[in-house]
Amino acid sequence: MKAFDKRSVSRLTLEELFPNTLTDTSCVYIDKGREVWVATEMCAQYLESVVDSIVVVDDNHVPLGIVGGYDLLDNLRKNPTRDFQYETKVEEIMFKVVPEVEKKTKLEDLIEKWKDTRRAFAIIPNELDGYSPISARKMLEIGAKCKTDISVSSMAKKKIVTFQPDDTLGKIIDLMFEHKTRKLVLKNSNQFISDRLILGEISRILKFQTSVEYFLDIPASQLKFEYVKTVTEDLTLDSLCSIMEKMGHPYVMYKDILVSPWDVCLTLLSENLREPLRVGHQKKCPHCGKDI
């Protein structure tokens, strides 16, 4: 087959891209009648994983919607009180659309759907009469199998959004929504805050700081930060994704370029990424990114 006859990766179906792992993980579910604090605690554990959103179900275990960082933080800034967390039901704040896809869904259609909803998450029926999750993080598996010269330096650059050490939680959340990002970098550092870390702090306060009633005034200094992984070489996409797959919370910086799983999703839409994909996982050196 001639090179120009080969299909772009973005036009491959999910079952072609994940022949063995498409439904190897189960969704995490929450009952529609549970309180928001339960969803806050669950999302603090699962965000940025292959799950990345919690599926809200009715009494018959039928999916009604999803709840993730976007939904919880949006409602947190509107209702930043302890009472809201304990008295409001998940069904009142959930995203009332179930983003369900099929094995024949093309990658480009999935990512376009994610762009529209601003939630990089979908579910797909599995062989156990349940559902499996598909998130932005799972797309790293595709990137790691691509044979390509596309490197970090050729990926789309975006403004690095920062926050100050003396900012409040309310200011941080407002910056996230203003710039449509889940992560902010602490100014003049290689540390960052994310929706997952914020929800983890809210969950901790609910349990151990019972005197705190209003959350938006919490100082940034009280929050837990993660470190951005810095790479010194202009890694190719497959090498970059191999490194990010091993990270608990993938976020990489090369010079002035920050890369998250969502940036990888956008790169996978490139016409320059074509068949065939590597079969299985090629082992990479974690330092230089070359095949071992």
DSSP string computed for 136-169: GGGHHHHHTT-----BGGGSPP----EE-TT-BH
Q: What is the pLDDT of residue 279?
A: 76
93 in Cβ contact with 71 (< 8 Å): yes
Indicate the DSSP class of residue 135.
E
Q: Side by side, which strands form the sheet with 191-194?
A: 162-163, 183-186, 191-194, 226-227
Q: What is the pLDDT of residue 6?
A: 85
Task: For residue 156, name the pLDDT band (cuts at 50, 70, 90).
Answer: confident
152 in Cβ contact with 234 (< 8 Å): yes
Secondary element (H or E) of residue 91: helix 90-93
Rounded to an integer, what distance in angstroms lies between the CA atom of residue 183 and that of residue 161? 8
Q: What is the pLDDT of residue 173?
A: 98
What average pLDDT does the segment 151-157 reach?
Answer: 91
Q: Which of 239, 86, 38 is nearest to 152 (CA)?
A: 239
pLDDT in tens, 201-221: 999 999 999 999 999 999 999
Rounded to an integer, what distance in angstroms lies between the CA atom of residue 3 and that of residue 186? 45
> What is 21-65 written as a DSSP string?
TTTSSPPPEEETTSBHHHHHHHHHHHTTSS--SEEEE-TT--EEE
Q: How far is CA 271 from CA 38, 111, 150, in A?
A: 42, 14, 11
Ramachandran quadrant class, 55 (left: phi over 0; alpha: psi -120 to 50; beta: rest): beta
Beta bridge partners of 121: 135
φ, ψ of residue 119 to 5 degrees: the values are: -135, 110
What average pLDDT does the segment 146-169 reach?
Answer: 93
Rounded to an integer, what distance in angstroms lies between the CA atom of residue 87 and that of residue 72? 14
Rounded to an integer, what distance in angstroms lies between the CA atom of residue 264 and that of residue 240? 9
Q: What is the pLDDT of residue 154?
A: 92
pLDDT in tens, 182-204: 999 999 999 999 999 999 999 99
φ, ψ of residue 95 to 5 degrees: the values are: -80, 115
φ, ψ of residue 239 to 5 degrees: the values are: -65, -40
Task: For residue 104, name the pLDDT band (cuts at 50, 70, 90).
Answer: very high
For residue 276, cis peptide bond before it (omega within 30 degrees of 0): yes
pTM recorded for the entire structure: 0.90
Indicate the DSSP class of residue 88.
S
- Amino acid at residue number 277: L
- Amino acid at residue number 24: D
190 in Cβ contact with 253 (< 8 Å): yes
